Amino acid sequence: MTRHIPVLLKETIENLNLKKGDIFLDATLGEGGHSFEICKKLDGDIKIIGIEADIDAIEKAKEKFLTDKYIKNSDFVFVEENFRNLDKVLDNLKIENVDGVLFDLGVRSGNFEESNRGFTFQKDEPLLMTFSKKAESVPFTAEEIINEWEEKNIKDVLYGYGEEIFAKQIAKNIVLKRKIKPIKTTFELIEIISSSVLEKYKNRKIHFATKTFQALRIAVNDEVGALKGGIKKAFDRVKKGGRIVVISFHSIEDRVVKIFFKEKALEKKGILITKKPITPSAEEISQNPRSRSGKLRIIQKI
Ligand SMILES: C[S@@+](CC[C@H](N)C(=O)[O-])C[C@H]1O[C@@H](n2cnc3c(N)ncnc32)[C@H](O)[C@@H]1O
């Protein structure tokens, strides 16, 4: 079982610019990689509120914090929730404002390796793709999209969220296959994708099912909607002078962040700390290939 390696760690810590005694909201706690290093850097003298949709990730984060002799007595609270509800989390904790917020978006390594929810094309798993273990946390799972949605809507998801050039053929074949029997697992879906794309598409570095899987995951978790809602609430709750750092892993998310930050800068409510996103160094990419598409943007509230 491998641990998730935090992406752009040094750059995140530097740019959050937190001080001893601050309150930090980690909107995507994951296994606590970023939060842990921030806590360590400030000798545990910081309050950390970690929000995470996936209880398994929270358990790992807790274990990391509670087994470290310096960190275990620090002030942290981890909440199983969607970050689109971060206002409610802060209200429940009676916290008005925070000094910094981090969104490290997308998936953690454990989602691929051990979630059994269909994020990976290496294993035959049920097609759920929910970040939360509770399937009822989302209006529909990947299985429901594939077996119940109209062909055109499936195509639009695959093209819109995955920029999959074979979206039309894949959607058509999904609809043909499901008439014979419901499509239930990752391997069944991969077989359909395989029969829908050109042979040369299968010889590329990136697996031919990557874009379809990414698109379904984004749709199931309403990742764009959650980000738009979450980032707005984060901006409302960060103190003047406080910063929001966002690490995104695909262009749709990065565009949402870029547009929102620009809007705030134009309204003279924020200063863009980065005009262009910070990206991982060649060294980081070689040590952690998952980091390669990471883009980090920062805004400071004024
Ligand atoms: C890239 S990982 C974060 C890793 C973390 N920074 C670390 O170093 O361990 C992203 C995490 O965000 C969670 N997540 C994604 N969207 C979420 C949302 N809308 N609300 C709450 N958690 C979310 C995922 O379950 C995943 O664990």
| pLDDT tens sequence across 74-89 | 999 999 999 999 999 9
**Interatomic CA distance for residues 115 and 169, integer angstroms:** 29
What is the 249 CA–ligand 1 centroid distance (Å)? 12
28 lines ligand 1 (CB under 6 A): yes
- Whether residue 127 lies inside any domain: the answer is no
- Angle, CA 226 vertex, CA 210 and CA 28 arms, to 5°: 80
pLDDT of residue 270: 98
- Name the pTM for this structure: 0.95
**Interatomic CA distance for residues 237 and 253, integer angstroms:** 21
Q: Which residue among 131, 134, 224 has the greatest number of ligand 1 atoms within 8 angstroms of its CB, and so is best to mutate?
A: 131
What is the 275 CA–ligand 1 centroid distance (Å)? 25
Q: Which residue among 56, 87, 103, 108 has the greatest number of ligand 1 atoms within 8 angstroms of its CB, and so is best to mutate?
A: 108
CB 31 within 8 Å of CB 3: yes
Q: Looking only at Cα atoms, what is the longest distance across the chain?
A: 61
pLDDT of residue 2: 67
Q: Where residue 153 sits, what CATH number does that domain have? A: 1.10.150.170
Residues 6+ apart with CB under 8 A from 209: 121, 189, 190, 193, 194
Q: Where residue 62 sits, what CATH number does that domain have? A: 3.40.50.150
Q: Give pLDDT tens digits along the chain (302 positions).
A: 567 899 999 999 999 999 999 999 999 999 999 999 999 999 999 999 999 999 999 999 999 999 998 898 899 999 999 999 999 999 999 999 999 999 999 899 888 888 889 998 889 999 999 999 887 888 999 999 999 999 999 999 999 999 999 999 999 999 999 999 999 999 999 999 999 999 999 999 889 999 999 999 999 999 999 999 999 999 999 999 999 999 999 999 999 999 999 999 999 999 999 889 999 999 999 999 889 999 999 999 99
pLDDT of residue 72: 86
In terms of DSSP H, where are the helices of 93-194?
109-114, 142-148, 151-162, 167-180, 186-194
Ligand 1 atom index nearest CA of 102: 6
The total number of structural domains in the chain stands at 2
Pseudo-torsion of CA 229, 235, 237, 242, nearest 10°? 150
The residue among 21, 52, 50 whose CA lies nearest residue 35 is 50
> Residue 83 corresponds to which tokens in the numbers above?
């970050």
- Whether residue 156 lies inside any domain: the answer is yes
- Whether residue 128 lies inside any domain: the answer is no
Residues 6+ apart with CB under 8 A from 114: 1, 56
Question: Which domain range does residue 209 map to?
Answer: 139-218
Q: Which residue among 52, 111, 256, 295 has the greatest number of ligand 1 atoms within 8 angstroms of its CB, and so is best to mutate?
A: 52
Please check whether residues 96 and 15 belong to one and the same domain.
Answer: yes
Quick one: angle between helices 223-237 and 210-220, nearest 10?
A: 50
Picking from 184, 218, 252, the residue at the C-terminal end of a domain is: 218
CB 154 within 8 Å of CB 178: no
Please check whether residues 86 and 212 belong to one and the same domain.
Answer: no
Residues 6+ apart with CB under 8 A from 88: 81
Picking from 194, 218, 242, the residue at the C-terminal end of a domain is: 218
Picking from 162, 185, 218, the residue at the C-terminal end of a domain is: 218
6 lines ligand 1 (CB under 6 A): yes
